Structure 1
Amino acid sequence: MRLFGPTHEEVWKMLSADIEAEFIVKDSVFKNYEVIKKFHDWIIVLDTYNSHSRNEPVYTRVYCVFLNKSGFKFKVFGGHFNNYFPNFFDMQDIKVNYDDLSDKFIVRSNSDVAIKRFLQNNTIRELINTQLDIVLEIVSEQVCQSPAKTESTISVKIPGIIKNNEVLKELFELIGESLLEIENINNEFENLQFNNFTHFDVIKNSVKNTIFESDSYTKLSKDIIDNVNKVIDNTIHHQSHIKDAGGRDLLVRKKITNKNGTNEISYTENGNKEIKK
């Protein structure tokens, strides 16, 4: 028994045997492996993904390339600042009425009808909830110079190299269940209507969500609060004090409002200048 448990290669080989998939060594020197599983008419692949950005980690990724008849796109991810802005104008934030998702994840899509139908699937929501750092998305690109033939990739990514067999099985299950649900949506909505988002609409709704609505945007709001001194010239401050019996300040309730009065953030600060919810 190894001191630090089984290796990346050993776990992925075990997984491939468990799910009746093929384990492939792409590069033994750099420990580049793949697990390939045939599922219905699709090929689902497990690999590691690196964007080659200095600030981005290596991800464990499970993905599948499929024919996306409708052009439906979405992105579901934890409310982390570095994930918020890519593809900012391709999709808009969608408010979903599921407590197990709305408090933890940001949901973006080019169709509010399709994404709400997609997330009605209890299994998909449960599998998304197993990992807070998860990114589940569809990325589309045109092939064969024909707008009628849109090839898309659906993928789920988690930071780091995952060596937990059960977590890897759940990622495969999530992609498989998602593919079946997308096929159902394509069959149900033959002419799926997409939201015609303007850039202004995307910015307006994203700012509104960030400041006012969903708990999943707490980090974004806190980033603004933490950097308030950098934008002090562009804001107006209001504050109210809560005092003890001796007249000492216990908590200070502060509000930052932009000069147009269109947006504001309220927060509470204690005597040590720590932000409290």
Structure 2
Amino acid sequence: MNFLKALFGPSRKDVWRQLADEVDGQFHEVGLFNPFAVQARTGDWTVTLDTYTSGDGKTNQTFTRLRAPYFNPEGFRFDIYRAGVFSGFGKALGLQDIEVGHPRFDRDFVIKGNAPRRLRRLFGNGRVRRLMQAQPKIQLTVKGRDGWFGRYPDGMDELHFQAHGAIKDLARLRNLFDLFTEVLWEVCHGGRAHEDDVPFHVRRLSAPGGRITNKYVLWEGDRPRRDAAAALGRLEDPAAIPALADVLWDEDAVLRLRAVEALAEIRHPGAIGPLVPLLGDARKAAGLQFRDGVAEALRQLGEGELVVTVGAALGGDFGRLKTYDGGYRAEIIAALGHALEGSSGAHAANALAEIHAVEALPRLREVQRSLGTRDATGQAVAAAIGKLEARASLPRAAAAADVEVDTLPRSAQAPGPDPGTLPRGSQAP
């Protein structure tokens, strides 16, 4: 073995294992035909190095590739390769040839893209240009959602490199990992991470969660989103409220709880409305009843009375709810609507009837279709629908604004029209 190493150099397995150590990544031994892979995290992304074989069974070729899924809602696309290679490839993608304003780089590379200004900014980064120049052969492109890549969620694309053969040049491979890191930071965050920058964390929060897996885990979106929610709470900027409100119903229970905590930390009245409907959510988060975390957040925002009122109603005591005048009626009705399918469903239905919430009829009918009248909750829902439909059918008194003033009858003493304007009778003088 030592003789073979001396003759041919270290094996690809040895080189890739060393690369994994250098980039603080993982070395995977996975299968017979594509046995090795290296993965490393950089920022919010996972960069995966592996090989694949393509051909017709008679003449097969091996390719080395790097790929990294990332959030790209703007649809920024590019395809970059050394001049004289892959000529015309980008035309099929609807991309245009672009010069980025650096003569040597423009001479050595074909640069195609759909956003010239963003490409010029990307290659205004001298380190990106130097890392590209160090690659003897390179094609760096953004793979969209077409074809095989359609498995990615909306807004996700893939930064992709490929080259012929199985690369075992350690310096070149390390250069490629560094290039991916630099390009991802540029295209996603303008080159720098601003830990005190609200838009930076809002973008992280809006990326898809969950996992993308194909032999390996290519994308793990939950941890970055949780970190972003916590950071937005720490920054206490009300501008983050809409983004945090958008994830309050997310499938990731820990993210939901982080968003609730962040809204409480921001301590702005605008955070109250999005939280109130969650008082009817009986799901768990981080091992706790999610509703408890919401209630605590609302108390911190000065809405302790609202919490007690809704809690009492869900326990069957409607007195406070019927006299409550603290606002947020629509949000309270939404909370009761969400509670219909939980353990407090019967009380929630009765509460909606008690406060004459005819606006809840669509939600009640939806739950009735799901539950029927098999149990106490279904029966309470049916009864509430009957009461509210009867109320909705009652005639309303006309508002004063609905009646034109000049159509009302005049009193006998009221001044009438000018007699001179009346038609004269035939006997009139």
TM over 0.5: yes
Count of equivalent residues: 186
* Cα distance in 2 for residues equivalent to 1:23 and 1:144: 25
Q: Which residue identity does 1:181 align to in structure 2?
A: E
* SS of 1:153 mapped into structure 2: strand
| Alignment pair present for 1:177 and 2:177 | no
In the TM superposition, what whole-angstrom CA distance separates every residue of 1:170-219 from its partner, at most 9, and x where no partner exists? Answer: 1000001101001134979xxxxxxxxxxxxxxxxxxxxxxxxxxxxxxx
Q: Partner residue of 1:139?
A: 143
* SS of 2:73 mapped into structure 1: coil
Does the 8 Å CA contact 1:59/1:158 hold for their aligned counterparts?
A: yes
- Spell out the pairing of 1:183-222 with structure 2 (5 A cutoff): 183-185=188-190
- Spell out the pairing of 1:239-254 with structure 2 (5 A cutoff): none
Q: Give the alignment's Cα RMSD to 1 decimal.
A: 2.8
Deviation of 1:49 after TM superposition, in Å, equals: 3.4
Q: Partner residue of 1:100?
A: 104
Does the 8 Å CA contact 1:26/1:33 hold for their aligned counterparts?
A: yes
* Cα distance in 2 for residues equivalent to 1:84 and 1:52: 22
Structure 1 residues 89 and 37: alpha-carbon distance in aligned structure 2, compared to 1, 3 A threshold: closer
Q: Partner residue of 2:48?
A: 45
In the TM superposition, what whole-angstrom CA distance separates every residue of 1:122-162 from its partner, at most 9, and x where no partner exists? Answer: 1100011012310111111176898xx32100022232211
- Spell out the pairing of 1:45-64 with structure 2 (5 A cutoff): 45-52=48-55, 57-64=61-68
* SS of 1:88 mapped into structure 2: helix
Structure 1 residues 87 and 57: alpha-carbon distance in aligned structure 2, compared to 1, 3 A threshold: farther
Does the 8 Å CA contact 2:83/2:107 hold for their aligned counterparts?
A: no
| Alignment pair present for 1:158 and 2:163 | yes
Deviation of 1:97 after TM superposition, in Å, equals: 1.8
| Alignment pair present for 1:127 and 2:131 | yes
**Does 1 or 2 have the higher relative contact order (CA < 8 Å, sep 6+)?**
1
Does the 8 Å CA contact 1:9/1:31 hold for their aligned counterparts?
A: no
* SS of 1:172 mapped into structure 2: helix
* SS of 1:161 mapped into structure 2: coil
* Cα distance in 2 for residues equivalent to 1:55 and 1:102: 35
Q: Partner residue of 2:19?
A: 15
Structure 1 gap ranges (5+): 189-277
Structure 1 residues 161 and 110: alpha-carbon distance in aligned structure 2, compared to 1, 3 A threshold: same
Structure 1 residues 89 and 157: alpha-carbon distance in aligned structure 2, compared to 1, 3 A threshold: closer
Does the 8 Å CA contact 1:133/1:159 hold for their aligned counterparts?
A: no
Deviation of 1:57 after TM superposition, in Å, equals: 4.2
Alignment TM-score, normalising by the size of structure 2: 0.40
Structure 1 residues 56 and 130: alpha-carbon distance in aligned structure 2, compared to 1, 3 A threshold: farther
Does the 8 Å CA contact 1:104/1:132 hold for their aligned counterparts?
A: no
Structure 1 residues 57 and 124: alpha-carbon distance in aligned structure 2, compared to 1, 3 A threshold: farther
Deviation of 1:62 after TM superposition, in Å, equals: 1.5
Does the 8 Å CA contact 1:140/1:150 hold for their aligned counterparts?
A: no
* Cα distance in 2 for residues equivalent to 1:87 and 1:65: 23
Structure 1 residues 87 and 49: alpha-carbon distance in aligned structure 2, compared to 1, 3 A threshold: farther
Moved more, 76-85 or 30-39: 76-85
Question: Which of the pair has more CA radius of gyration?
Answer: 2
- Spell out the pairing of 1:246-265 with structure 2 (5 A cutoff): none
Does the 8 Å CA contact 1:74/1:110 hold for their aligned counterparts?
A: yes
Structure 2 gap ranges (5+): 192-198, 201-429
Q: 2:172 aligns with which of 146, 167, 174?
A: 167
Q: Partner residue of 1:78?
A: 82
Structure 1 residues 69 and 125: alpha-carbon distance in aligned structure 2, compared to 1, 3 A threshold: same
More helix by share: 2
Moved more, 129-138 or 177-186: 177-186
Deviation of 1:81 after TM superposition, in Å, equals: 4.8
Does the 8 Å CA contact 1:50/1:56 hold for their aligned counterparts?
A: yes
Does the 8 Å CA contact 2:145/2:152 hold for their aligned counterparts?
A: no
* Cα distance in 1 for residues equivalent to 2:107 and 2:61: 25
Q: Partner residue of 1:266?
A: none
* Cα distance in 2 for residues equivalent to 1:55 and 1:107: 31
Alignment TM-score, normalising by the size of structure 1: 0.60
Give the percent of matched residue pairs that are identical in Structure 1 and Structure 2: 25
* SS of 1:141 mapped into structure 2: coil
Deviation of 1:115 after TM superposition, in Å, equals: 0.7
